[in-house]
Amino acid sequence: MLDATAHVGRLPSPSVWDVNSTADRLVDAGAFVSRDLNLAGFTTLRVGGPAPIVAECSTTQALVDAVRFLDAASIPTLLIAGGSNLVIGDAGWDGVVIRIATSVVRLGDNVIAAEAGAVWDDVVATTVDAGLGGLECLSGIPGSAGATPVQNVGAYGVEVGSVLHRVRLLDRRSGEIRWVETSELGLGYRTSVLKHSEDALVLDVELQVSPDGLSAPIRYRELTTTLSVGEGDQVPAAQARDAVLGLRRGKGMVLDAADHDTWSAGSFFTNPVVPDAEVSTVMAAITRQLGDIAVPSYPADGGVKLSAGWLIERAGFGKGYPGNGAVATLSTKHTLALTNRGSASASDIASLARTVRDGVRGAFGVELFPEPVTVGFKI
């Protein structure tokens, strides 16, 4: 899930910034400013401490003006959109939070454009409703359009990188705004040059779509089975979207306030890539622990990609671990999501993540890395 990634601003200068004057300047920039808000409500995990200022920017101009001001003043800045790929520490953020609330989507026959704050699934739904294909396999992913290239989000055999046309960036070093081609973004598995970087902010994304209304070729086995089609077949985009949403709901991966399995940051760990030189050692460790068993694996650059969820479960962490009564557990629907059962803190989530990570490392010698951005602490 990205689902949406936060961008952390530059560290504060030695001088102390003034909350009142900063709030006034942000209002002048066109932002709606609130004071002393708890940040848990801005993330899908629903954890995180307070911030002295939260400034909501509903236009791109307000967003640009606000960020330029904060950067010039060296005021610590945290940029949030959907908050679905973000874990904020219990101490909160001792600076300004900018909430990106831009939302315009513009349709074309072959390319559509979305402002960074547009809700991603709304973007997908808009294209499908307009008879455009290509984005349907990315249905149900929470977060914002602007976060999708940062994380190079993907699901059911499609990554944003495969449909991305270009992005418009604010260069936070120079203040320049320019369109950047996909080839410049260093897109990889759940990563890009934009991830974990404060140098640029996504303002708009352009995505390639198909005017014939057909889905991208269906290649993900679970989806081909659900749709009863062969690998590489295409179906109407709306049909594929419905199937994807059904599969995601069954895994607690479509946001639902009444379902604590969706109080998560989506897949908490990326699927690990084991270097070629270590594959035989890891496979031997799996055999020692589990016997002669089929291990789901996929070719990857420089190694073999393993399923993080499979490793977690085989290391002894089943669905719902550690059980009823815990404030933070693995999802009861699949093992790759860490969930808030209603009263968890960021510390509770971090503790569970470390337990799972260390358990997988101890069992199989494989290191798991968190997918969400963490603010104020490390896993």
Residue positions annotated with a catalytic role: 190, 267, 371
Whether 51 contacts 92, CB under 8 Å: yes
Strand ranges for the chain from DSSP E: 7-8, 32-38, 50-57, 77-80, 86-88, 96-100, 105-106, 111-115, 154-155, 158-159, 164-171, 177-181, 200-208, 264-267, 273-275, 297-300, 303-306, 328-330, 337-340, 373-375
Q: Is 27 exposed, middle or buried (0-12, 13-18, 19+ CB in 10 A)?
A: middle
The SS3 assignment for 168 reads strand
Whether 141 contacts 121, CB under 8 Å: yes
Buried b (16+ CB within 10 A) or exposed e, 74-89: ebbbbbbbbbbbbbbb
The CA-atom distances, in angstroms, between 280 and each of 127, 198, 283, 359 are: 45, 38, 5, 20
Q: Smallest Cα–Cα separation from 188: which of 215, 161, 165? A: 161
Whether 145 contacts 60, CB under 8 Å: no
* Distance from C-alpha of 195 to C-alpha of 2, rounded to nearest angstrom: 11
* Distance from C-alpha of 134 to C-alpha of 11, rounded to nearest angstrom: 40
Q: Smallest Cα–Cα separation from 200: which of 86, 89, 71? A: 71
* Distance from C-alpha of 51 to C-alpha of 39, rounded to nearest angstrom: 7
Q: DSSP letter at 203?
A: E
Residue type, 58: S
User: What residue has token string 């330029």?
Assistant: 68
* Distance from C-alpha of 53 to C-alpha of 275, rounded to nearest angstrom: 44
Q: Smallest Cα–Cα separation from 244: which of 133, 340, 118? A: 133
Q: Smallest Cα–Cα separation from 46: which of 312, 354, 338? A: 338
Beta-bridge mates of residue 322: none
